[in-house]
């Protein structure tokens, strides 16, 4: 039901005021379980809570839907984080090889074009610059330049399939780097929706707990059900 709950609440989550959105301070799985426990606990106190002004429909009956929406939003965020972390790991393993391949490719072009000052100038322009994005572009530019000047490369018996490999690597590495960079960002859509789902759930839980703690302030046995065990 979590996906159905999420779909049902999506419009509500997207319309929450931006200034109200905050990330969970406690582990989200613990918070969700405590919300489930609270829903069961308060059933016995329905009459007393309603009698003190708690809106049972919007807070209590809606609670399982808010929990389900938050649980699914958390799953989506964790999936994205996992994919980003895997991409970061893959980039760390593949990028040194890509840099080495780029350097070899530029050396190949310099040798093949050693009698063509015009082409050597283009190779120097490609080699200018630094950083991951520059390396990825260098692979593509080298491939395009080489394919446009195959006679010089054929003369040195060059393996032209390396130019295809450079183009393919450039495309693949660009996608991988984009995913890897996402691992350090906190502004992804999935995370924002998780935070929104958490705040929407928290609004109901806070209202229930505040009412319950007031109503049962002189009844320790019932009061304890409105206190977070994690915080204690």
Quick one: DSSP state of residue 19? G
Tokens of 177: 């780097």
**pLDDT tens-digit profile of 36-59?**
999 999 999 999 999 999 999 999
Domain ranges of the chain: 2-82+189-226, 93-184
3-state secondary structure of 219: coil
Distance CA 189, CA 186 (A): 9
Q: For residue 103, what are the contacts with CB-CB under 8 A and spacing of at least 6?
A: none
Distance CA 14, CA 177 (A): 29
State yes or no: pLDDT of 124 exceeds 90. yes
pTM: 0.67
Residues in the chain: 232
- Could you tell me the pLDDT band of residue 178, with boundaries at 50, 70 and 90? confident
- Residue 20: per-residue pLDDT: 92
* Nearest C-alpha neighbor of 54 from the set 36, 38, 73, 34: 38
Backbone angles phi, psi at 132, to 5 degrees: -65, -45
DSSP string, 81-132: HHHHHHHHHHHHHHHHHHHHHHHHHHHHHHHHTTT-HHHHHHHHHHH---SH
- Residue 184: per-residue pLDDT: 54
**pLDDT tens-digit profile of 148-172?**
999 999 999 999 999 999 999 999 9
Question: 115: exposed, middle or buried (C-beta count within 10 Å: 0-12, 13-18, 19+)?
Answer: exposed
* Nearest C-alpha neighbor of 193 from the set 79, 83, 84, 74: 74
Distance CA 197, CA 72 (A): 9
């Amino acid at each position: 039901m979590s996906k159905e709950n999420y779909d049902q609440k999506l419009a509500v989550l997207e319309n929450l005021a931006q200034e109200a959105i905050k990330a969970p301070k406690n582990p989200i799985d613990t918070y969700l379980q405590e919300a489930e426990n609270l829903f069961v606990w308060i059933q016995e106190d329905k009459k007393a809570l309603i009698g003190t002004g708690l809106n049972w429909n919007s807070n209590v009956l809606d609670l399982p839907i808010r929990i389900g929406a938050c649980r699914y939003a958390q799953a989506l965020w964790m999936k994205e984080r996992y994919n980003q972390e895997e991409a970061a790991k893959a980039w760390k393993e593949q990028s040194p090889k890509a840099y080495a391949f780029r350097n070899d490719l530029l050396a190949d072009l310099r040798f093949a074009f050693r009698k063509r000052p015009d082409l050597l100038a283009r190779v120097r322009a490609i080699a200018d610059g630094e950083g991951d994005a520059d390396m990825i572009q260098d692979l593509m530019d080298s491939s395009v330049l080489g394919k446009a000047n195959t006679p010089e490369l054929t003369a040195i018996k060059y393996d032209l399939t390396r130019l295809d490999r450079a183009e393919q690597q450039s495309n693949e590495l660009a996608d991988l780097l984009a995913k890897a960079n996402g691992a350090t960002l906190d502004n992804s859509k999935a995370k924002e929706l998780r935070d929104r789902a958490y705040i929407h759930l928290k609004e109901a839980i806070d209202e229930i707990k505040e009412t319950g703690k007031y109503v049962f302030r002189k009844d320790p046995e019932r009061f304890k059900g409105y206190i977070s065990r994690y915080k204690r």
